[in-house]
Chain A
């Protein structure tokens, strides 16, 4: 099984070196080959399980409560400006 590591890494926003791409391609291909084992299983008419204990529609009252202060929210970033997060531009001016 072939995996386009460069494409997948781009989707996942993971910067990889050329050497890493080569190494991962081999390793990921062997893992994908192994998990392809599931193709043997007949799953026709079987519902997927996502919530294993069967909880459904868990809701709570929509009430406001104290949360982080601005300082707390910014306490782990080095990328800030005037009390806000500073992010890279995504649109060119």
Chain B
């Protein structure tokens, strides 16, 4: 096994036992980036010299007995996190040359924990999309088959991780942007409860929906990272002041008696047969581990996309109004097509005479969606569902029809609207060898529960260990 293939827990152990140095580990990742990034287009910015200098320092600290939780471990981030003195584009030409003068809280926490930034990864501009085809810097290709999309918007993140260019990734999820690409690239991806992780310094898409979370090679790594990045932040008034549990300590529990709800609306018309069969197998695995399957219902599913595509564009039209081309960034004519579309839908929905009919109405339906989940969780502990209605689609297949692209999010947007956490994890492959993922959804602030369920599933399966043939 090459060093760049390691998980966080494996890398930590190797560093501790001096089997290799942080410089060697970092070099292995940089070499893999050098070999494959040109073809996959996963990284937008690579911090080679800075990363190697940081690795050298980390090796000295390791020698001196420093036990910082991520000391010497290289990682990468979706290019929406402000990183001081490192170019940050949000996938948009508007910020082509933007160098933030400050750090996002999540990045600062990772730096404090000793992690080493390898670079920033590609995404749909401003998080607007499900395939990275809306990136102003070109599409990211799926490492499992380069004719296919990697998913989005955090597609650069999951492609980088699946191709072992990095040890872990941090993505961002507003309507599925961590989970969809995680399922398309066969990685683990955690969408946290709204406010569980600070949004400070992450370039805003839709402020009432944006969440920051880990993308990893194992559930254990996701739990470990969440312990480090979660928590209240006085710079983000919407972050939760609740205590952060030691998520890794919850991974040893079994799932005997865990009630898993299957909402019938998530398994109906429009669900690809291969995805359905794969999920059925996963359900069998979980029941063989002692979980109980119960019926569930989320009647508002059919209104999820419409609700989301009013709220998210409305908020993004407001958030993107700050790009005036004067204080930083390029002129507003540099916005790409999808950003222009969403700015206009949002502007329209919020304009005089339409606010009540669109934004307020959508916020009311949002209440109904949230209540549907609360009600469903009275009868079950977690909900299991597909992430995407189909396996990954081909590059270019949906680009001419924005609405078709939006419908890919049907199983993911509801979770953001309800503010609940959801863990996406690999559960199989289509007959064309394309990854299929599922998601485990829990009540607000139940990350410990869904991580444990995912961990138990992972113990019994080997999907997460499979590697693409680059």
A binds B: yes
**Interface hub of B344, B347, B403 (most chain A Cβ within 10 A):** B344
Say if the beta carbon of B69 comes within 8 Å of chain A.
no
Contacts of A51 in B (CB 8 A): 208, 238
The smallest beta-carbon distance between B453 and chain A, in angstroms, is: 22
Which interface residue of A8, A15, A20 has the most chain B CB atoms within 10 A? A8
Residues A85 and B326 in contact, CB atoms below 8 Å apart? yes
* Per-residue B-contact encoding for A38-79, CB less than 8 Å = 1, 0 else: 110101001111111101001010000000100011011101
A50 to B340, CA, bound (A): 24
CA distance A43 to B358 in the complex (A): 12
Q: Is the CB of A38 within 8 A of B361?
A: yes
Count chain B residues whose beta carbon lies closer than 8 angstroms to a beta carbon of A. Answer: 55
Cross-chain contact A30 with B194 (CB below 8 angstroms) = no
Known: A24-B341, A46-B367. Contact between A15 and B332, CB under 8 A?
A: yes
Residues of A within 8 A of B62 (CB): none
Give chain B interface residues in 194-230, CB to chain A under 8 Å.
Answer: 194-195, 208
- Nearest CB to that of A87 among chain B residues? B326
B326 and A43: CB pair below 8 A? Answer: no
A27 at the interface (CB under 8 A from B): yes
Q: Which of B307, B332, B333, B340 interacts with A38 by CB under 8 Å?
A: B307
Are B341 and A77 closer than 8 Å at their CB atoms?
no
Bound: A9/B332 CA distance, A: 11
**Cβ-defined contact, B344 with A48, below 8 A:** no
In the complex, whether B139 has a CB less than 8 A from a CB of chain A is no
Interface residues of B in 94-111 (CB under 8 A from A): 97-99, 101-102
Interface residue? B363 (CB, 8 A): yes
Most buried by A among B97, B195, B321: B195
* Nearest 10 CB-CB pairings of A with B: A52-B419, A48-B363, A76-B328, A43-B364, A58-B237, A72-B101, A12-B347, A35-B306, A49-B367, A46-B364
Chain B contact residues, CB within 8 Å of chain A:
97-99, 101-102, 193-195, 208, 234, 237-238, 240, 302-303, 305-307, 309-310, 317, 321, 326-329, 332-333, 335, 340-341, 343-345, 347-348, 351, 358, 360-368, 370, 402-403, 406, 417-419, 444
